[in-house]
């Protein structure tokens, strides 16, 4: 049997998409800088005209899941990173925006099988957001690390798919609601039990 664990060293050929909310761009721009710094120092070419990272700007955090999901479905990326900042002091619908964006980002990952990193700050004040985006630490760096780790881990996990799945690869997964399986219908427990490993 095996232990699957992401590494941070074999980054050749990895491709990432970063989706950034323009709302509170004083904060999201700093998160982006931290994230790029992390990827760059792990050997990734972060140049938008290069081959490893694409960037997409959306109006606000609410729009992050839709674009992240579409990019993940393109099968071009090992991971998608969403960067946003939802600040309570500025909106009475803080709870709605933050709840939808977290559910939506989780769904984008579940539905596509591509890691989608939740890089959205949800804070009470702008001061708290800025502290997490560079003044004290920069969580953008941590989001970059999560993307590297998950990209590596998924590459390992997908590369060791059991033989009985090999005949019906899920190259273009059916979009299923969260909590529903996207495995081919032909794969049943009885099929699995008849396999030798």
What are the residues binding ligand INI (CB under 6 A)?
A: 21, 23-24, 59-63, 84-87, 90-91, 97
**CB within 8 Å of 87: residues ≥ 6 apart:** 24, 27, 94, 121, 123, 124, 125, 126, 129
Nearer to ligand INI, 60 or 184 (CB): 60
* 15 appears as a binding residue in the annotation: no
Active site residue 188: no
Residue 120 Cβ, how far from ligand INI at the closest point, in Å?
A: 8
Nearer to ligand INI, 62 or 77 (CB): 62
Cα Rg of the chain (Å, integer)? 18
Cβ-contact 80, 68 below 8 angstroms: yes
Name the β-bridge partners of 52: none
Which residue's CB atom is positioned nearest to ligand INI?
Answer: 60
Residue 76 Cβ, how far from ligand INI at the closest point, in Å?
A: 25
- Marked catalytic residue, from 42, 49, 93, 164: 93
Residue 122 Cβ, how far from ligand INI at the closest point, in Å?
A: 9
- Residue the block writes with tokens 């699995």: 192
CA 80 centroid distance within chain: 4
* 125 appears as a binding residue in the annotation: no
> Reading across the β-sheet that carries 16-21, which strands appear in turn?
53-58, 16-21, 79-87, 116-123
Nearer to ligand INI, 63 or 148 (CB): 63
Nearer to ligand INI, 62 or 141 (CB): 62
* 8 appears as a binding residue in the annotation: no
Residue 50 Cβ, how far from ligand INI at the closest point, in Å?
A: 27
The span from the CA of 6 to the CA of 110, in Å, is 19
For residue 118, what are its two tokens?
A: 């939740």
3-state DSSP helix/strand/coil % of the chain, to nearest 5: 45, 15, 40
* 111 appears as a binding residue in the annotation: no
* 91 appears as a binding residue in the annotation: yes
Cβ-contact 100, 165 below 8 angstroms: no
Annotated binding site: 23, 61-63, 85-87, 90-91, 118, 132
Annotated binding site for (2S)-2-hydroxy-3-oxobutyl phosphate: 90-91, 132
Active-site residues, by number, are 93
């Amino acid at each position: 049997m095996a232990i699957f664990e992401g590494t941070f060293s074999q980054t050749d050929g990895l491709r990432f998409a970063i989706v950034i909310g323009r709302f509170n761009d004083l904060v999201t721009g700093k998160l982006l800088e931290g994230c790029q710094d992390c990827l760059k120092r792990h050997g990734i070419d972060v140049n938008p005209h290069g081959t490893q990272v694409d960037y997409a700007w959306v109006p606000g955090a609410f729009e992050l899941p839709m674009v992240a999901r579409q990019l993940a479905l393109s099968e071009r990326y090992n991971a998608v990173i969403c960067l946003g900042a939802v600040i309570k002091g500025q909106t009475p619908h803080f709870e709605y925006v933050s709840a939808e964006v977290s559910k939506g980002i989780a769904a984008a990952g579940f539905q596509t099988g591509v890691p989608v990193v939740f890089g959205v700050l949800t804070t009470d004040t702008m001061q708290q957001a800025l502290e997490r985006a560079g003044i004290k630490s920069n969580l953008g760096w941590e989001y970059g690390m999560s993307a590297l780790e998950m990209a590596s881990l998924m590459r390992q996990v997908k590369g060791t798919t059991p033989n009985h799945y090999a005949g019906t690869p899920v190259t273009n997964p059916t979009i299923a609601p969260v909590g529903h399986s996207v495995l081919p219908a032909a794969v049943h427990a009885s099929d699995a039990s008849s396999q030798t490993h």
